[in-house]
Amino acid sequence: MRYVGYARVSTGEQNLDLQIDALKKFGVDRIFTDKASGSISRRPGFDSMLENLEKGDCVVVWKLDRFGRSMVNLVSLINELSKEKVNFKSLQDGIIDTTSAGGELIFNIFATLAQFERRQIQERTKAGQIGRAH
């Protein structure tokens, strides 16, 4: 299994050293980085990482919030990795580690909660549309 690291800070003034040191200590083979807000959908380092992933790789991040913008976004990204047979591991949030059965279970619980959140939003939106029609 090849470990591929991803590190991100939100602004150019922030420093990636803490994340990079942790990823190196873990033993990642290659690290991709960005200095950009997580709310920006196009991140060059992130996009390059995705293009370089191979079946059997494991994406490693320092913390979950460095990878996704929200729980729904995070679940979506990890599901996309899973479809490509790529695992995911967060070093600080050790409960998310799709290389282990327990970590995969926890991720699936998170995915269910994210789906619940999406459905709640859809229902509130639909209720709001019906309320405006009357």
Take residue 75 and report the two structure tokens written for it.
Answer: 């679940």
> Of these residues, 10, 48, 82, 90, which one is catalytic?
10
41 is catalytic: no
**Type of residue numbered 53:** L
Give the CA angle between residues 73, 77, 78 to the nearest 5°.
120
**Type of residue numbered 26:** F
120/115 Cα distance (integer angstroms): 9
Q: Identify whether the C-beta of residue 71 lies closer than 8 Å to the C-beta of residue 114.
A: yes
Q: Which residue spans within 36-123 are E strands per DSSP?
A: 58-61, 87-90
Contacts of 11 (CB under 8 A, 6+ apart): 35, 37
Residue positions annotated with a catalytic role: 10
